[in-house]
Structure 1
Amino acid sequence: MNIYNPRTILHTILGFTLIFANLASACTGIQINANDGTVIHARTLEFAVDIESDVIIVPRGFERTGSTPDKQTGARWASKYASVGANALGLPNIIDGVNEQGLSIGLFYFPGFADYMPYNKAEAGKTIAPLELGSWMLDNFKDVKDVREHIGNIVVANVVFPQWGFVPPVHYIVQDAKGNAIVVEYTNGKLNVHDNPLGVITNSPTFDWHMTNLRNYVNLSFSNVEDVKLGNQKLAPFGQGSGMLGIPGDFTPPSRFVRAAAFSQGLIPVETGKEGILQAFHLLNNFDIPKGAARDSKKDKHGNIVADYTLWTSAVDLKERAFYFRTYEDSQIKRVDLLSHNLDSKTIKTISMKGQEVIKTLN
């Protein structure tokens, strides 16, 4: 039996409870497909406080027990597939990552809309918490089709996350090595699985709303507009990008969704997965939030500004089963290769994401 001992997290509990009540995260996810068949899932991760993420490698056979609202024993399972990705608060659950079959998941904040399934004590043995759903999918399934066929068999209930003191409102994007993508949401007590033809996700409102909202921007074009003539006067655009005039530039989820859809669909195709990884990080530069650019209207009780910022940015190569990341403090891209590790290890391996920027001096 595998045992995982999370590090002490009590010092963050109060901070999370206060901050999450006022400010939701501003995460953005995209998909890139390279000409060599590589599929890349990439995203930013924003919160108002450090969620202390590490990269973890979960081996095959790792035993888990799901959580329930009344603290009964929830669903039990052992991981069929090994996986790699980022966690939060030292916990054994992956919030963004990929398994050995090339299935990836990404957890995104979904405030004001997430409402999970009704809990029945008789179904405790098939119940899990919202933050456990990502690892449940990575542990058990090989592709999107597999997830679709089985996700109705699990009950995701309104389980309070003790470290935060409330039920985390989240939804998930799920992608596979063939390029298929879905969004999993729980609203009004029901499961909703949406096809995601663009591989894009942000936060609230619901995914289908975001897709409908794209119709407001059908005038946008990747190409510059042509010169026009008014009477005898010829008018030309001032410079590059005139076709995108009117694209929303703020950090709200609807605006980020529009930009992510437009930019990811307008990319010039790359040949290899490595090129795709670099392209993903370049694209996500457009969604990088510095401290102070997206802040709550009120300060916390200590008089400090409460502001979302980009804790880390990641990209997952679903073909190579590799997890790439950079952090707010260190922009150097790092890679963790799942298949180079012992997938039958008896324990979870933890790799720190911490680092400080190294600036080279050239003379």
Structure 2
Amino acid sequence: MLATPSAQACTGITLKAEDGSVVRGRTGEFGTPLDIRLIVIPKGLPLDGGAVNGARAKTWTSKHAVAGVNALGGSYALDGLNDAGLSVGAFYFPDYAEYSEVSGADDGNVVSPLYFVNYALTQFATVDEVRKAVGDIKVAGAKEKEWGGMVPPFHWVVSDRSGASIVIEPVGGELVVHDNPLGVITNSPTFDWHMTNIRNFIYLNPLNVPPVKLNKVEFKSLGQGSGLAGMPGDFTPPSRFVRAVVFSQSVFPLATGHDAVLQTFHILNQFDIPRGAAAGMVGGKREADITQATVAADLKSLKYYVTNYSSRRIKMIDLNRIDPDRREIIQIDLPKRETIDDLTPIKE
């Protein structure tokens, strides 16, 4: 059984390129192994909203093919990209997620939090379509044994190839939608709190602080990065939100989506958590978050990229090339061990 770790430190950003590409990237952290795999969900597949209590889950047929990542071998994507250029990611939202109370009157209109990404990606093509659809469903779930006997607490970021982005949060039993103009998301508390907190750090600047003269003595900064002195460096969600805004907003112009994908991975390296750096006590045992996966979705080229803790090599699925006639969910294992290239110049 999955014990609930002390922190879940997922971080999401968005970059745009001069060729019109939009790239959404994120890290995925957890304190216990999630056996993260790539998942492909084809068109024309009957799907449902997962396990819910008090009502019958929604059912539908997939309109769009999806590439993404799952956890614990489930048939649900927790993050992904569809063939229309829509991208959705679930982010942990502990202590703040408040799902709907449902009854038989809600039969056929309920989706569990584990299957919300599936629903949005297989049914819709744009942010506006998702925004309208959330008013017609309720999100409620059942306790999941594999998730520590709880209903997993999530909120979601939704982005499309136009660059539009929203955050959807279950608060007070309702789905609250926030515009996300910066394309950034982390975890608790609510998204509007994070956007207000940015005001505490508007002094941050990627440009170095100029020299200062005091009584004819000139003082210069000791090195590069003085404009970011005071930027929070810990792994809490508020601190990561601030850093994600700073790093994603300060990038140099990017020519292509490919450039934006590579830059996304470089930025998200700043949020990579090595084992032991963010830990807590769970059931009397020390447990540490690690970055189990990092992904990037190119919403224009329809390519989905991933690295994992065991292998920093970038893996990719191209939605333009998947078999359109497949009618089953495909799961693809990620490497369990890093391969190192030996470039030693040796005598032949």
Q: CA deviation at 1:162?
A: 3.5
* Structure-2 separation of matches of 1:272 and 1:70: 46
Select which of 54, 64, 83 maps to 2:47.
Answer: 64
- Report SS of the residue matched to 2:295: strand
Equivalent-residue separation in structure 2 for 1:114 and 1:200 (angstroms): 19
**Alpha-carbon distance in structure 2 between the residues aligned to 1:162 and 1:119:** 21
The answer to whether structure 1 residue 248 and structure 2 residue 248 are counterparts is no
- State the alpha-carbon separation in 2 of the partners of residues 168 and 299 from structure 1: 17
Contact 1:221/1:243 (8 A) holds in 2:
yes
Long gaps (5+) in structure 2: none
Match of 1:207 in 2: 191
- Residue 4 of structure 1 is matched in structure 2 by none
Matching residue's letter, 1:320: S
1:272 aligns with 2:256: yes
Tell me, yes or no, if the aligned pair for 1:57 and 1:84 is still in contact at 8 Å.
yes
Check the 8 A contact 2:49/2:116 in 1, yes or no: no
Residue 108 of structure 1 aligns to a residue whose secondary structure is: strand
| Structure 1 gap segments, 5+ residues each | 1-13
The match for 2:222 is 238
Q: Measure how far apart 1:127 and its partner are.
A: 0.7
**Deviation (angstroms), 1:125:** 1.2
Match of 2:93 in 1: 110
| 1:356 aligned residue (319, 327, 337) | 337
Match of 1:129 in 2: 112
Q: Any idea what SS the aligned residue of 2:145 has?
A: coil
Q: How far off is 1:194 after superposition?
A: 0.3
The corresponding residue for 2:13 is 30
What is the alpha-carbon distance in structure 2 between the residues aligned to residue 162 and residue 293 of structure 1?
Answer: 28
In the TM superposition, what are the counterparts of 1:252-263 in structure 2 within 5 Å?
Answer: 252-263=236-247
SS in 2 for 1:55: strand
Alignment RMSD (CA, Å): 1.3
* C-alpha deviation, 1:352, in angstroms: 1.2
* Partner Cα distance (1:70, 1:226) in 2: 60
Which residue in 1 is equivalent to 2:322? 341
Deviates more, 1:336-345 or 1:258-267: 336-345
Give the match for residue 307 of structure 1: 288
Q: Counterpart of 1:316 in 2: which secondary structure? A: strand
Contact 2:53 2:140 in 1 (8 A): no
Q: Distance in 2 between matches of 1:68 and 1:49?
A: 22
Tell me how far 1:233 sits from its aligned partner.
Answer: 1.1
Q: 1:187 aligns with which of 171, 175, 197?
A: 171
Superposed CA deviations along residues 23-53 of structure 1, whole A, max 9, x for unmatched, are: 2310000001011111001011000111111
CA–CA separation in structure 2 for the residues paired with 1:344 and 1:193? 35
- The secondary structure found in structure 1 opposite 2:146 is coil
1:299 offset after TM fit, Å?
A: 5.4
Q: Name the structure 2 match of 1:9.
A: none
1:334 CA drift (Å): 1.2
1:178 counterpart (148, 155, 162): 162
Residue 109 of structure 1 and its aligned partner are, at CA, apart by: 0.2
| Counterparts of residues 87-102 of structure 1 (less than 5 Å) | 87-102=70-85
Residues 41-75 of structure 1: CA distance to partner in whole angstroms, max 9, x if unpaired? 10110001111111111011111122454365311
Instruction: Tell me how far apart the structure 1 counterparts of residues 131 and 249 of structure 2 sit (CA, whole Å).
Output: 25
1:191-240 CA-partner distances (Å, limit 9, x unpaired)? 10000000000000000000000000011111111111112111111111
Contact 1:130 1:159 in 2 (8 A): no
**Per-residue deviation, 1:81:** 0.7
Cα distance change, pair 69–335 in 1 and its aligned pair in 2 (3 A): closer
1:64-94, Cα deviation, whole Å (9 max, x unpaired): 1224543653111011111100011111111
The answer as to whether partners of 1:27 and 1:43 remain within 8 angstroms in 2 is yes
Question: Which residue is equivalent to 1:155?
Answer: 138
Partner of 1:325: 306
TM-score, normalised relative to structure 1? 0.92
Do residues 292 (structure 1) and 273 (structure 2) align? Answer: no
What secondary structure sits across from 1:332 in the alignment? strand
| Corresponding residue for residue 139 of structure 1 | 122
CA distance in 2, matches of 1:259, 1:274: 23
Q: CA–CA distance in 2 between the matches of 1:113 and 1:299?
A: 20
The 10-residue stretch of structure 1 (160-169 or 233-242) with the greater mean CA deviation from structure 2:
160-169
8 A contact 1:57–1:338 mirrored in 2: no
Per-residue CA deviations over 1:151-171 (Å, capped at 9, x if unaligned) read: 111110143223221111100
Q: Contact conserved, 1:33 with 1:276, CA < 8 A, in 2?
A: yes
